[in-house]
Amino acid sequence: MKKTRVDRKFLELSKQGKKGFIGYLSAGDPNLEDTVDQVLRLEDAGVDVMELALPFSDPLADGRVNQEAATRALEAGATFDGCMNCISKIRERSELPIIYYAYMNTLLARGFDQSIEAAAQAGIDGFLLLDLPLEEAKPYRKALTQNALNAIQLVTPTTPDERIQKIVRQANGFIYCVSREGVTGVQAEIATGAGALVARIKEKSNLPVALGFGIGTPEQARDAAQLADAVVVGSAIVNAFHNNPHTSEGRANAAAFVKRMVDAVKEI
């Protein structure tokens, strides 16, 4: 498979000896036009890769902040086609690596293969499919491979070593290491076992490992970057854009908050 923007970005970071910063937003929160501006501002703030969530009514892996973001996006009229158009508009101005954070229902509803092809044509680089079990993944991974998209895989603290081995064999791009049990959301500190889990993954894969779930301050981002190849920050970014006015100045303030976390990661 040819290298995606995600692959090239992690190769670039490795050559530079730098850690990566992955940001997260829900597409369509507060609307799809603002999402385009938010993503471009985050790129200017130094974010290396973006996760954009396809809004879904029952996001089981997400905590309150990201659930509410998905609800706001759906209420604002975000549709599958609208989200694809959002990616196309970003691609008119940016080559920032972007992956979709998605639940299977949103893709199966219109035909999985057709959904993946539409996303690839819009300019997406890969998918993190939250509720696709390893045992059922093979036919769906085929569509990702055929469209030269990354298949980002999750490993959690409760994943046994034998299963980690099977998961990383199906992965490319990077491995998403979930730092703690439970759902997304800012926490007071990095989970105690996060470093050991990253080490377990690295024993079985040469792919970059990104550590996420619960990271919301520059200090936490710096601590996480010392453990993994990249840091994922979601709820804190969603909150920053939601709690600031939905104006150019408000989005600039939110991006400045994210830049402080990016800068902390880049100090490592």
Name the catalytic one among 34, 51, 125, 229: 51
Choice among 7, 48, 62, 223 that is catalytic = 62
Using alpha carbons only, give the angle 102, 84, 143 rounded to the nearest 5 degrees: 55
To the query of whether residue 113 is one of the catalytic residues in this protein, the response is: no
Does the active-site annotation cover 162?
A: no
Residue 190 CA: distances (Å) to CA of 142, 212, 213, 231, 234: 35, 9, 9, 12, 14
Nearest to 98 by CA among 142, 137, 53: 53
Catalytically active residues, by annotation: 51, 62
